[in-house]
Amino acid sequence: MFLWPAGRGNRRVPDSEFAHHSSRSRHQNGIGEPEGRQMAEVVRAEEYGFRYNESKKWAVKDFNLTVKSGEIVVLAGPSGCGKSTLLRSVNGLIPHMYSGQTAGSVSVDGRAVGETPMSVLAQEVGLLFQNPENQIFMFSVERDVAFGLENLGIPRAEMRERVDRAMHLMGITELAGRAPHELSDGQKQRVALAGVVAMNPKLIILDEPTSLLDPRTALELVDLLQKLRKENGTTLVVVEHRLDLLVTVADRIVVMNEGTKVLDGSPKDVLFGDLAEGYGISVPAITRLQKLLAKDGRVASDRLLSAKELAGLMGGVRS
Amino acid sequence: MMWLSGGFVFRRGNSVYHRLDPRVKLLISALLFTTTLLVRSITQLALVIVFAMAIAAVARVLKRVGRTMLLTATFSAFIFVVNIFFTRNLETSAIYAIRFIAIVVSTSLFFITASPDELEQVMKTFRLPRDVVFAFVTAVRFIPVMMLDTLQIMDAQKSRGLELDKGNLFQRVRNMIPVLIPLVVNSVIRSGELAEAMESRAYGAVARPTSLVEYRARAADRITAVAAVAVFALGVYSFYFVMPTYLP
Amino acid sequence: MIEFENVTFVHQNGVKALDQVSLRVQQGETLAIVGENGAGKTTLVRHVTGLLKPTSGTVKVKGLETTRASTAQLSRSVGVAFQNPDHQLFSESVYDEIAFALRNFGFSPQLVEKRVKWGLELFGLEEYRDSSPLVLSGGEKKRLTLACILAWDPEVIILDEPTVGQDAIQKERLAGTIKLLGTAGKTVIVVSHDIEFLWPIQPRVVVMKSGRIVADGPARTLMLEKEVLEGARVSQPELVTFYQELVRRPEAPFVNPLEAERWVK
């Protein structure tokens, strides 16, 4: 009876159109890279510029950036500085979905973004958008996490394993059968992130991931990001206004203004400098305090400290 | 809106009926639907409805289906009156009116017990193009979201002095504009964001995507399907050849 | 000005969103309502203009019970700025957008013209006077929704999560606006989980958890109560944490929070 095409078990879909990466080797090796060995470059932008067809102004211009494997980079800048354009230039939506004029180059893992198809890029770069609601397509959590894998034609057994692993990593295994409208914002965020993690990208970009979350949930997300870096060796680029959550965690802060890069360095270098506040970056109160105390010579540290750590240092007790 | 939501929006359930293969659920609803078109008397129609309600009871959705029936009754009465006006025949008008209720109940039974995932499965079985199925499932998934958006938009506009419950029909319709425009705009924005997310997760990379979940028909499903067809055949037979001899 | 008396609110699905809440807001106060997502902050605020009616208890605005008037009528005195501007903007021009509420409230055309002009100037939107509100940037849209509210000059202004998605400059401007409204004698209620934003404003703070008010007091003293804040999953301003930690240490130099703040300023 044609109505019952009874399941035929694992059906292998011929993957003739693209290279299906088995990137499991990456996390089987873990990250302990020996000191002194050069870290791979995950993103390289050289004199990159982009102008949307509908606009006369260049949204991004003369942009240079390198991101090394395993780094956590925070990208900041006032509204309208070109951050969104840059993000989309790295994950491939520009130029594959949005057309315009390009200058310079952007490459991911050595591959030029413009010349690599989205299906391959999607496995290298994951992009987590701001509103988790509009990234969850399916009616059940686990099916949504599997969405990207289904699109790539991954065989069922492997897909099951990857979905389970991603959900476990994000701490949402119990939510597997739930529908999206039954979830809180924080949970939706994790589901969307799990869907990205399941694709095993080397790099994950997050566009203002904490904007809809309350501070405690936001902290939990930051912990989750650190866990991703630690366990999967994932490189992370986070666009954020709320720097206080990330300053103690980030390796670098890159500041953009009007389409170009204006600051790039360790969190301490960038935020202790006088230029940061001029670019509309909200320097956390504790960092301002640390800066003043450092000027007075009462505190010396090579990195940015949290409130507790700073108090510990000043109080003369080892924290 | 309440009627639509009560009668056709899926809600999770754990009854034996819910756990049936969605194709069987579709079959049952289709058979019920077909029967309503084949009956020839009010009593027969009533029997069909009672049977549908019995199924609803098994599926533990009797209250919802019952409420839908009552809400449909008002529209049904309208059909009755219009028919009386044109045909002046009490019996046929009643049949049309009650038939409408029966149709609504049989289709409602399917939609409230089949999740969007199951709807997708059924659509795939009928070999509908992938994009169509995806668009449909995504649209259904966003129904609760859009309902919430509508409420929030109404709240926002009420807070700017918009009175939604006053005025004659013309005024009320005009007052919906500040609600409809943001709704449409939001939908457009949403579609754009969804498209970006889809591309970023390699939608369309492969002509035939794989599937995490597999719907295997169990023995229970096949038996139920066969039983449903048998009952249908028996029912139609008795309606046509057995009943008229004894009942109006 | 605003009075909540033993208000309980239960949703249709049985969830109790507000549990015996009593609150009095005086005219001219600046009040911040904090708490984690789901604590009941937005539910509370929705009761002020009658968008929600209490299951038990009463809510009064200027002595009038909210069950006795429509939301549109109550909004004449209480302006609410919701989180998402895209849920509001629909007019053909920015001018019409600001005029919308004024016309609904029955302002004369001359007064409408005056108020719209004033609103455009106050928020730096004159250049967009005839543009469609839909082409504005996110920050400009937020400014527009504020302009829309202030144009009809309500006595009470409620801001629901005004800092979401805003950069530092926009937040500073917003803090300035709130302080300005306070000095103009307006009653301002800010619902926010951005503690660092609220701290310099030094408002009266009400902490909510699971539908109840668990703390109520001036920011300066309330923010010192670490256990209460932690219990409600509300973070402490960093400077306050710093001060508290410092004072605990045996070898700490004496630093009071005023001194720390003075440095930072």
Min Cα separation C24/chain A (Å): 26
Q: In the structure, what pLDDT confidence band is assigned to residue B61 with cuts at 50, 70 and 90?
A: confident
Is B155's CB within 8 Å of C88's CB? no
Q: Which residues of B touch C105 (CB under 8 A)?
A: 161
Beta carbon pairs, A and B, within 8 Å: 133
In percent, how much of chain A has pLDDT > 90?
A: 54
pLDDT for residue A318: 44
- HSE-CB at B29 with a 13 A cutoff on CA atoms is 21
> CA A170, CA A168: separation in Å to the nearest integer?
5
Nearest by CB to A308, from C166, C241, C263: name it. Answer: C241
**Window B:173-212, CB contacts with C under 8 Å:** 177-178, 181-182, 185-186, 189
Q: Which residues of B touch A147 (CB under 8 A)?
A: 201
Nearest by CB to C90, from B155, B159, B178: name it. Answer: B178
**Same domain, yes or no: B151 and B99:** no
Q: Averaged over A94-114, what is the pLDDT?
A: 92
Nearest by CB to C171, from A186, A282, A311: name it. Answer: A282
Instruction: Note the ipTM here.
Output: 0.88
Residue ranges in C138-253 assigned as alpha helix (H): 138-151, 168-183, 195-198, 219-222, 226-231, 238-248
> What domains lie within chain A, and their CATH numbers?
40-283 (3.40.50.300), 286-319 (no CATH)
Q: Is the pLDDT of residue C256 over 70?
A: no
> CA A225, CA A126: separation in Å to the nearest integer?
13
> CA B61, CA A22: separation in Å to the nearest integer?
46
For residue B54, being part of any structural domain is answered with yes
Q: Averaged over B57-73, what is the pLDDT?
A: 87
Min Cα separation C235/chain A (Å): 7
Q: In the structure, what pLDDT confidence band is assigned to residue B42 with cuts at 50, 70 and 90?
A: confident
pLDDT for residue B144: 84
Q: Is the pLDDT of residue A280 over 80?
A: no
For residue B126, being part of any structural domain is answered with no
pLDDT for residue A175: 93
**Same domain, yes or no: B81 and B184:** no
Express each pLDDT in B185-209 by its tens digit.
999 999 999 999 999 999 988 888 8
Q: Is the pLDDT of residue A21 over 70?
A: no
Mean pLDDT estimate for chain A: 83
Is A163's CB within 8 Å of B212's CB? yes
Instruction: Compute φ and ψ for B35, nearest 5 degrees.
Output: -60, -40
pLDDT for residue A38: 52
Chains interfacing with A (3 or more CB pairs < 8 Å): B, C
For residue B130, being part of any structural domain is answered with no
Q: Name residues whose C-beta falls within 8 Å of residue C5's C-beta, 6 or more positions apart in sequence.
A: C22, C57, C58, C59, C60
> CA A85, CA A71: separation in Å to the nearest integer?
21
Q: Is residue A179 a contact partner of residue A187, using CB atoms and an 8 Å limit? A: no
- Write the burial class of residue B181 (CB in 10 Å: 0-12 exposed, 13-18 middle, 19+ buried): middle
Which residue, C187, C191, C159, is CA-closest to C40? C191
In sequence order, the β-bridge partners of residue C8 are C56
pLDDT for residue A23: 40
Min Cα separation A317/chain C (Å): 7
Q: Which residues of C touch B153 (CB under 8 A)?
A: 87-88
Q: Averaged over B104-116, what is the pLDDT?
A: 88
For residue C258, being part of any structural domain is answered with yes
Q: Averaged over C175-204, what is the pLDDT?
A: 91
Give the chain B residue nearest A199 (alpha carbons): B201
pLDDT for residue A187: 93
Q: Which two tokens stand for residue B222?
A: 């096949």
Which residue, A96, A98, A92, A103, is CA-closest to A58? A103
Q: Which residue has the tokens 């049904």?
A: B76
Q: Is the pLDDT of residue C25 over 90?
A: yes
Q: Is residue C163 a contact partner of residue C194, using CB atoms and an 8 Å limit? A: yes
Q: By three-state DSSP, how is residue A64 classified? A: strand
Express each pLDDT in A283-296 by its tens digit.
888 888 888 778 77
Please tell me if residue C254 touches chain A, with a CB cutoff of 8 Å: no
The number of beta carbons lying within 10 Å of the beta carbon of residue C133 is: 25
What is the total residue count of chain B? 248
Amino acid at A269: D
> CA B196, CA C5: separation in Å to the nearest integer?
48
Which element (helix H / strand E) includes A126?
strand A125-128
The number of beta carbons lying within 10 Å of the beta carbon of residue B93 is: 19
- HSE-CB at A191 with a 13 A cutoff on CA atoms is 31
pLDDT for residue A136: 94
**Same domain, yes or no: B182 and B240:** no
Q: Which two tokens stand for residue B213?
A: 């979940």
Express each pLDDT in C112-158 by its tens digit.
999 999 999 988 899 999 999 998 888 889 889 999 999 999 999 99
- HSE-CB at B70 with a 13 A cutoff on CA atoms is 7
Picking from A1, A2, A4, A182 by the largest number of B CB atoms within 10 A of its own CB, the best residue to mutate is A4
As a whole number of Å, the end-to-end CA separation of chain A is 72
Express each pLDDT in A113-156 by its tens digit.
999 999 999 999 999 998 999 999 988 899 999 999 999 999 99
Please tell me if residue C105 touches chain B, with a CB cutoff of 8 Å: yes
Please tell me if residue C259 touches chain A, with a CB cutoff of 8 Å: no
For residue B191, being part of any structural domain is answered with yes
Q: Is the pLDDT of residue C99 over 90?
A: yes
Residue ranges in chain A assigned as alpha helix (H): 24-29, 83-91, 93-96, 118-124, 141-151, 156-169, 185-197, 215-232, 267-272, 285-296, 307-314
Q: Is the pLDDT of residue C254 over 50?
A: no
Mean pLDDT estimate for chain B: 87
For residue C253, being part of any structural domain is answered with yes
pLDDT for residue A29: 39
> CA C182, CA C26: separation in Å to the nearest integer?
12
Please tell me if residue A141 touches chain B, with a CB cutoff of 8 Å: no
Chains interfacing with B (3 or more CB pairs < 8 Å): A, C
pLDDT for residue B244: 65
Picking from B5, B12, B120, B206 by the largest number of A CB atoms within 10 A of its own CB, the best residue to mutate is B206
Rg of chain A (C-alpha set): 21
Mean pLDDT estimate for chain C: 88
Please tell me if residue B157 touches chain C, with a CB cutoff of 8 Å: yes
Q: Name residues whose C-beta falls within 8 Å of residue C8's C-beta, 6 or more positions apart in sequence.
A: C16, C18, C19, C20, C21, C54, C55, C56, C57
| Cα separation values, B173 from B166, B169, C26, C183, Å | 11, 6, 39, 42
Amino acid at C261: E
Q: Give the pairing of strands C2-10 and C56-61.
A: antiparallel
The overall pTM is greater than 0.90: no
> CA A62, CA B175: separation in Å to the nearest integer?
50
Q: Is the pLDDT of residue B179 over 50?
A: yes
pLDDT for residue A1: 30
pLDDT for residue C261: 58
pLDDT for residue B1: 58
Q: Is the pLDDT of residue A18 over 80?
A: no
**Window B:93-152, CB contacts with C under 8 Å:** 149, 152
Express each pLDDT in C64-85 by its tens digit.
999 998 888 899 999 999 989 9
> CA A133, CA B141: separation in Å to the nearest integer?
11
Which residue, A76, A46, A52, A88, is CA-closest to A205? A88
pLDDT for residue A24: 40
Rg of chain B (C-alpha set): 22
pLDDT for residue C262: 60
Q: Which residues of A touch C264 (CB under 8 A)?
A: 285, 288-289, 292
For residue B70, being part of any structural domain is answered with yes
Domains identified in chain B, total number:
2
**Same domain, yes or no: B196 and B226:** no
Min Cα separation B31/chain C (Å): 34
Q: Which residues of B touch A199 (CB under 8 A)?
A: 201-202
A248: region left, alpha or beta (phi > 0 left; psi from -120 to 50 alpha)? alpha
Give the chain C residue nearest A80 (alpha carbons): C137
Q: Which residues of C touch A317 (CB under 8 A)?
A: 249-251
Q: Is the pLDDT of residue A239 over 90?
A: yes
Please tell me if residue C49 touches chain B, with a CB cutoff of 8 Å: yes
C89: region left, alpha or beta (phi > 0 left; psi from -120 to 50 alpha)? beta
pLDDT for residue A28: 40
Q: What is the span of the domain harbouring residue B57?
A: 2-115+216-245
Nearest by CB to C139, from A79, A286, A314: name it. Answer: A79
Please tell me if residue B165 touches chain C, with a CB cutoff of 8 Å: yes
For residue B210, being part of any structural domain is answered with no
Is A153's CB within 8 Å of B205's CB? yes
Q: Which residues of A touch C235 (CB under 8 A)?
A: 215-216
For residue B99, being part of any structural domain is answered with yes
Is C82's CB within 8 Å of B186's CB? no
Is B152's CB within 8 Å of C79's CB? no
In percent, how much of chain A has pLDDT > 70?
A: 86
For residue B206, being part of any structural domain is answered with no
Is A137's CB within 8 Å of B213's CB? no
Amino acid at A108: V
Q: Which residues of B touch C100 (CB under 8 A)?
A: 160-161, 178
Min Cα separation A146/chain C (Å): 28
Q: Is the pLDDT of residue C251 over 70?
A: no
Please tell me if residue A147 touches chain B, with a CB cutoff of 8 Å: yes
Q: Is residue B156 a contact partner of residue C104, using CB atoms and an 8 Å limit? A: no
Instruction: Quote the DSSP letter at residue C92.
Output: S
pLDDT for residue A6: 34
Q: Which residues of B touch A98 (CB under 8 A)?
A: none
Q: Name residues whose C-beta falls within 8 Å of residue B188's C-beta, 6 or more positions apart in sequence.
A: none
Q: Averaged over B44-60, what is the pLDDT?
A: 89
Q: Is the pLDDT of residue A217 over 90?
A: no
Q: In the structure, what pLDDT confidence band is assigned to residue A10 with cuts at 50, 70 and 90?
A: very low
| Cα separation values, A65 from A263, A266, B29, Å | 11, 14, 60
For residue C248, being part of any structural domain is answered with yes
Sheet holding A203-207, edge to edge: A125-128, A203-207, A235-239, A72-76, A252-257, A260-265
- Buried-state track A78-110, b at ≥16 Cβ within 10 A, e below 16: bbbbbbbbbbbbbbbbbbbeeebebeeebbbbe
Please tell me if residue A212 touches chain B, with a CB cutoff of 8 Å: no
In sequence order, the β-bridge partners of residue A187 are none
Min Cα separation B211/chain A (Å): 6
Domains identified in chain C, total number:
1
Residue ranges in chain B assigned as alpha helix (H): 2-8, 22-38, 42-58, 62-87, 90-113, 116-125, 130-141, 143-158, 169-175, 177-200, 219-237
CA angle, B10 then B186 then B176, to 5°: 85
Which element (helix H / strand E) includes C99?
helix C94-104
> CA A271, CA C40: separation in Å to the nearest integer?
36
Express each pLDDT in A30-47 by its tens digit.
444 444 445 688 999 999
Q: What is the span of the domain harbouring residue C251?
A: 235-265
Give the chain B residue nearest C96 (alpha carbons): B178
| Cα separation values, C218 from A206, A221, C207, C222, Å | 37, 30, 11, 6
Q: Is residue C81 a contact partner of residue C162, using CB atoms and an 8 Å limit? A: yes
| Cα separation values, A116 from A83, A95, B106, Å | 22, 10, 51
Beta carbon pairs, B and C, within 8 Å: 64
Q: In the structure, what pLDDT confidence band is assigned to residue B245 with cuts at 50, 70 and 90?
A: low
Q: Averaged over A46-51, what is the pLDDT?
A: 93
- What is the sign of the dihedral through the CA atoms of C53, C54, C55 and C56? negative
